[in-house]
Amino acid sequence: MTYIVKPQFHHPSLTTNKLGFTRRDYEGRVSTLCAGCGHDSISAAIVQACFEIDLEPHRLAKLSGIGCSSKTPDYFLSASHGFNTVHGRMPSVLTGANLANRELIYLGVSGDGDSASIGLGQFAHAMRRGVNMAYIVENNGVYGLTKGQFSATADKGSKSKKGVVNSDSGIDLVALALQLGATFVGRSFSGDKEQLVPLIKAALTHKGAAFIDVLSPCIAFNNHKGSTKSFDWVREHNEAVNKLDVLLGRAPITTSYEPGSLVEVAQHDGSTLMLRKVAHDYDATDRVKAMTYLQERQAVGEIVTGLLYVDPEAEDLHDALNTVHRPLNGLSNSELTPGSGALDKINAALR
Amino acid sequence: MTRQIQATNDFVVKFANVNGSGSASANGLFVKAILRMGVAVAARNIFPSNIQGLPTWYEIRVSGNGWLGRRGGVDLMVAMNPQTWDRDIAEIDSGGYLFYDSTKPMPASKFRDDITVVGIPLTALCNAAYVEPSKRKVLKNIIYLGALTYLLGIEQDVVEALLAEEYASKPALIPANIEAMSIGFNHAKANLKPLGLQLKRADAVGDRIFVDGNTAAALGAVYGGATVCAWYPITPSTSVAEGFTDYCKKLRHDPETGEARYAIVQAEDEIASIGIVVGAGWNGSRAFTCTSGPGVSLMQEFIGLSYFAEIPAVIFDVQRGGPSTGMPTRTQQSDILSAAYASHGDTKHVLLLPEGPNECFEFGAQAFDLADRLQTMIFVMLDLDMGMNEWLIEPFKWDDSKVLDHGKVMTADMLEAGADFGRYKDVDGDGIPWRTLPATHPSKGAYFTRGTSRDPYARYSEEGAVYVDNMERLLRKFETAKSLVPGPILKKASKQTAYGVIYYGSTSPAMDEALATLEARGLQVDALRVRAFPFAGEVFDFIAGHELVFVVEQNRDAQLRALLINEGGVDPARLVKVLNYDGSPITARFIQAELAKGMGAVDVNAAGEMAQ
């Protein structure tokens, strides 16, 4: 056996969502990652987010590249179709899948090796094309499956488990995503479920390219002193700019917020993002200011987290291509094949 | 007196030009005028990988008998490029003609005494008539078109009508072009005699169309139901994507809303292109990319994923001269092996081998049915010769009763009825499993697609027996493909013969002519045109039925021959290589000479050897 089946039992008192699903209905196979891996916390957050937004599990397609992070789609949403593609190329496969059926929700799961090293090009182009997706990078700054080499997001000066100091500059995927035109950009920490779950909910409901960089410490190869991707380091340097609640549809607002500190952002799908400001000068709807703020805080060693940017009026690749509103994979023979009459005219024009 | 070749409706004209000089449209008009006179013609553009300033040639085969391959040799050289003068002059057949711009005197040593030299002071005529440099550049071409119209007996009103059609969208340009044509025509008439090469109105074109294979393949993709095209520009395949875009704009918009029933993405590279195709194929859309050899090299990893995870996909590979950047604007059939066995590990892929634009259209559509039916990568192997040159072919045909074959797609009803769904399970014994598309059913039929080894129920497995079982099933599926792909076409010689020839792709028109010429000389060869890989049993029966079989190809390493030996266990000694790989399309004279030599006959005309 090279896979592990999870028992189907669950406690009868487990709560259900609007569709009658329990949280267990969003789970997958038993994870084969190391005990304590940050990635498993992210999988759990994905399960929680999908449960909370009342998603029909089969209406989501999960895609990934290669690496520890890319194995995780097997560990959540067993009722969804999944595609573990090739290293660094998940964005293109997701783009094609999205073109074929615009009605599904697309979740791309990748890692820092997968997206910032081999797949940097595809990451960039999926963002600038505005593919409608939630793209999560489980960022641990290290190659886990091959046992501890630096990845391209490792900070300059950080130390590997073997004591090697990284001399290359780290790639900041958040800064890139902002510059490249992603219409939803967030950063979070696998150890902060309260922050991560709403971000994933908002990304899944956002129309357009939504990117979340999740710092996810590698318990086996990058959780030591000298690493800037360890649990301790991230906890110490984590500075959230805001706190997010996602309100679905016409759900009544039940949480009370302090006056003056709240920003409401209405999304295309009818959901509302309720943003409580933590950093008072931070405006998550201003791309240029967000970029400046992030650069400034990064320079003093902070890891800025939260919903960093959102464009609620975003359009996606289908809008740009003016494709029909029905899925392309469901078009009929007569809608696709022009027939012999049209061919006669084409022939006539070629004489 | 120099011997002069005398021929009506059967000769080769070659234009030597500088690219970017506007000659292409004049040369195109020349060809269309011949077609309008009811005479069959084949035209081949031989061009550099460059936009302006380098040599380019346009070779026109006029054939009353309807031969549309390259014949070899040149009867009339229209030498408009001083850079290539010496080699252009050398290429003319003895007794042939040279047409040149005589404005500047040339030393006698620059000519040959066994050809007829026809000079026209083109630059002088042009400069006398026009002042603006832009007009001088473009209309000079029309002036030589006018002169050739007189010299070759082309009907003047046919050319005038074509000029009017050519500039229908810019009518102001029509009188100037007709005037330029008359300047050339009248000067030639006043000063020269018609050549021994003459055109005479005939009725040999019929309802045939004049079109290039890339356009035909693009149209095939439209008719085959392709909805997603992802591509990256590369010569010589770019016009497949452009053709698909143009035809989709005309044929694939919702009449009510104007929305597109297709999605075309110009991706950032070939890897992203094939990734998008694989993603769309996984999700049930018919998707393709078009590329050339370097692109196929980049796509290797995804091709293996398509093979192993069993994702339908189509690649149009318009082959060019390799390896590496090679000869990007010259033709070859040199991607056969790299496509057939593309990607690491044990892989084999279906190749369709069209012979020209008709089959580019037909196979272009069929490829999508095959991709869905076989759930794998299908290569349609064009080449630059058929892809970028317009060929005179029978009109495209389409059977309206045809329904797109989506293969084994399990529906929600089937799952509901209790079908035992195993994504990689061989239920029907043909090696082809059933697949579900994402979101088919709320609780049944989902699976995790991966490039890793897995069991029939798509569960990750590294067990040896499970792996081998799956690999053997993929072989059974490849066996099934043999009965689905286009079969070979046999042309038997008039008499029983021990000689056979196997060929494929754009070699076809030159082969037709070579076979007829050999027959006329009493040399019989049975011919088999291979149209797909994997090879049907008939291919090996054909080899077994002949003592010696020539395998004619346009590559250095006899790639199809290697495939035949490898897949059929054929004794290599029985397969004789006949190879043309200098980048120019193969000629009838070359094939004829090589086959005659192989059959022990001394060839009377050794011309047309591959450039050494």
Per-residue HEC secondary structure of B259-289 comes to CECCEEEECCCHHHHHHHHHHHHHCCCCEEE
Interval B111-143: pLDDT, tens: 999 999 999 999 999 999 999 998 898 899 999
User: Looking at residue A253, what is its pLDDT?
Assistant: 58
CATH architecture of A23-321: 3-Layer(aba) Sandwich (3.40)
Put simply, the answer to whether B450 touches A325 (Cβ < 8 Å) is no
Nearest chain A CA: its distance from B504 CA (Å): 25
Residue B316 in this model has a pLDDT that exceeds 90: yes
Nearest C-alpha neighbor of A88 from the set A115, A127, A68, A126: A115
Put simply, the answer to whether B276 touches A342 (Cβ < 8 Å) is no
Interval A250-264: pLDDT, tens: 665 555 666 567 888
User: Looking at residue B19, what is its pLDDT?
Assistant: 87
Mutate to test the interface with A, among B274, B285, B298, B459 (most CBs of A within 10 A): B285
pLDDT band at B610 (very low <50, low <70, confident <90, very high): low
Q: Identify the bridge partners of residue A273 per DSSP, sorted by sequence position.
A: A246, A265
* B558 in Cβ contact with B579 (< 8 Å): yes
Interval B562-602: pLDDT, tens: 999 999 999 999 999 999 999 999 999 999 999 999 999 87
Q: Is the dihedral of CA A40, A42, A48, A51 positive or negative?
A: negative
Put simply, the answer to whether B280 touches A351 (Cβ < 8 Å) is no
**Strands of A26-92, DSSP E:** 60-64, 81-84
More confident call, B49 vs B441: B441
Q: Rounded distance, CA B238 to CA B234, Å? A: 6
Nearest residue, CB atoms, B267 vs list A92, A325, A346? A92
Average pLDDT over residues A320-346: 97
Interval B516-567: pLDDT, tens: 999 999 999 999 999 999 999 999 999 999 999 999 999 999 999 999 999 9
Nearest chain A CA: its distance from B203 CA (Å): 14
DSSP state of A117: I
What predicted TM-score, i.e. pTM, was given to this entire model? Answer: 0.96
Q: Identify the bridge partners of residue B119 per DSSP, sorted by sequence position.
A: B100
Nearest residue, CB atoms, A333 vs list B279, B301, B403? B403
Interval B186-198: pLDDT, tens: 999 999 999 999 9
Interval B44-97: pLDDT, tens: 999 888 888 899 999 999 999 999 999 999 999 999 999 999 999 999 999 999
Put simply, the answer to whether A79 touches B257 (Cβ < 8 Å) is no
Q: Rounded distance, CA B27 to CA B141, Å? A: 8
Q: For residue B572, is the peptide bond before it cis, meaning its omega torsion is within 30 degrees of 0?
A: no
User: Looking at residue B184, what is its pLDDT?
Assistant: 97
User: Which amino acid is located at B400 in the chain?
Assistant: D
Average pLDDT over residues A147-175: 95
More confident call, A309 vs B24: A309
Q: ipTM of this predicted complex?
A: 0.95
Please count the CA atoms within 13 angstroms of the CA of A296 that sit on its side-chain side.
8
Q: Rounded distance, CA A193 to CA B119, Å? A: 86
Nearest residue, CB atoms, A343 vs list B277, B282, B396? B396
Burial class, B21, CB count within 10 angstroms (exposed 0-12 / middle 13-18 / buried 19+): middle
Chain B CA closest to residue A19: B442
Nearest chain A CA: its distance from B599 CA (Å): 41
pLDDT band at A1 (very low <50, low <70, confident <90, very high): very low
As a whole number of Å, the end-to-end CA separation of chain B is 32
Nearest C-alpha neighbor of B241 from the set B209, B265, B212, B271: B265
What Rg, from alpha-carbon coordinates, does chain B have? 27
| DSSP alpha helix (H) spans, B357-459 | 357-374, 384-388, 412-416
Q: Rounded distance, CA B199 to CA B8, Å? A: 6
Interval B357-412: pLDDT, tens: 999 999 999 999 999 999 999 999 999 999 999 999 999 999 999 999 999 999 99
User: Looking at residue B611, what is its pLDDT?
Assistant: 57
Q: Interhelix angle for B133-152 vs B156-166, to 10°? A: 150
Burial class, A351, CB count within 10 angstroms (exposed 0-12 / middle 13-18 / buried 19+): middle
Distance of CA A24 to CAs A59, A176, B285, B577, Å?
A: 17, 36, 32, 65
Instruction: State the count of interchain CB pairs (< 8 A) between A and B.
Output: 233
Instruction: Sketch the domain layout of chain A as residue ranges.
Output: 23-321
> Element (H or E) spanning B511, and its range?
helix B508-520
- For chain B, the 3-state helix, strand and coil shares in percent, each to the nearest 5, are 40, 20, 40
Q: Rounded distance, CA B360 to CA B364, Å? A: 5
Put simply, the answer to whether A81 touches B438 (Cβ < 8 Å) is yes
Distance of CA B246 to CAs A350, A351, B124, B222, B269, Å?
A: 14, 18, 41, 10, 22
